[in-house]
Structure 1
Amino acid sequence: MDKAVVDRPEVSVVYVASDDTRTLRRMLTNVKELATSLEVIVVSPKCVDTSYLGDESSWIDKIVSPSIYSYDEGRALGARHARGETVLFLDERVDFSLPLWQQYVDAVRNGADVAVTVRTQTSTSAKKKKPLPTRYAYRLLNHLLGHTELGTGTLSRIPFACSRKALKALGHECLRTPPIAYVKAAWQKLVVVGVHPDSAIKWTDDTRISMVKSTRQLLREHAYAIQLLVNLIGPRGGMPDGDRYRDLLHIPGELHLRSVFYPQPREDKGGVWGGKRKKKQTGSHKKR
């Protein structure tokens, strides 16, 4: 696989790593069969050794950026350089097999713009555990976006995949704040689907903890995303204002509030405001 020969690879894999070469080695061993034309972009805050690959490292781009402080920033930088029609995002924290990776690639090939992971708690011990605050945030954002079927699906956790169209619409910088990118994807009516892993995803603790965002930061990002969604929808949740005449509230004078409730001409009200009610009372008095 020579990246100079293939101008537009079928799949780009963006892999963010700190210094965990062992996990990187397993990933590169399995990813070769993912597509006929493939590029791998390894993003790291410091140089990651790939010399053990020999000549095969020609299809691997290494991006070293000391300014990377989180995995999301690394993915945004990798997305900027990705050329594939489908971009799969991974990092050193997760280790799983090629068939699972293929589900994300196939989802994009079948028409999805974004494919996120939908995790379900199947074991009894997992169900007894109190859900983390971030899981509530993921569910709330999906509920507000009308994606309740996606549960805790999110761009804040890997793995996920995007099409070339989605990255062009969202912009790679947007991936620095995944909830913002998630809201923009839904607002632009991009097709977002969930991938249900057949087996539990294995996570490794041999990672750079400093690159993992704190719970407080994740919740703050979701608050910003909800604020963005509210601003996009507009006042009254995007619903019409009915027959209200709110512009009349800005009219100076003592009767402007009555004008809101009684916008009809004065002659319909018996000549004065409230005249209709007085006339009715007068009529009832005459009957007696």
Structure 2
Amino acid sequence: MITQQDLARSTGWSAEASFSVARLDLAGNDPGSDILSFLDDAKFLAGASRNPALRVLLVNPELLDEARERIPPRTKLIAVDDPRWHFYTLHNTLALEGPLENEPSIIDPNARIHPQAFIDDVGVIIAGGVVVEPHATVLRSARIGEGAVLRAGSVVGTPGFEHKRTSRGVLSVVHDGETRIGAGTEIGSLATVARGFARRHTVVGADCRIDSNAMIAHSAQLGERVFVAAGAVIAGSADVGDDVWIGPGATVIDRARIGAGARVALGSVVFTKVAPGSTVMGNPARPAKITPRRTAV
């Protein structure tokens, strides 16, 4: 549980108030358990007011009166000078105390780790038959499935791009999820797979092929047998179904959904859902009109 003592020791907050919640989350999200959140923009008041899971809300003093009018009394309102800073500073403190930051790494004796590879000494699990080539980097949070291959210079488990502008400067947010690489998957040279964030793990399923210089961002989740060609970017929290092909230099934006068996042509930019089995191309990506090739008579 998260209590007022956690908030006090992480941020220096000292007002008298007591609370106990299950987790931190955004004010409009309902994870089915009690949450603490923050509010520094009135446009999010409507979502917060409808959230039955919201129990504690850190709020700007200038929004406090309006919040009292619109937020149900079940939610405790706590005025702080920069709610965003307090929320993510608390998140960072709790994330750094988690098991992925403290449990010793486990490497199967049948894994082949090159002497010039780097494996974090905490928070990593590597199964049998895994191959880690020179200068590959495996950071805490990584779970590498049986027989996976990490090519030279690849990075698995790096923090994703999550930074917050606050009144006290830019605050980089600690990532707290796992980075799961499925059995038989190959991560190409200089490819990067970022760590999961906000309780959503990054997942690259079994038998995938991630080409050189590709980027799999935090909390993206790929199914099985997904092929991602060189230079492609799968942005944060995107979902990619089984047997999908992502062409060279393509970009899948955050939270996009690509159905099983779909194909994304080279250089395309996916902003919305892609239907299973379809082919899309262009920027923005649209269903492709493919003209059959003529054959010589």
TM-score by length of 1: 0.25
The structure whose residues are more often strand, as a share, is 2
Task: Select the structure with the greater relative contact order (CA < 8 A; seq sep ≥ 6).
Answer: 1
The structure whose residues are more often helix, as a share, is 1
Q: Which has the larger radius of gyration?
A: 1
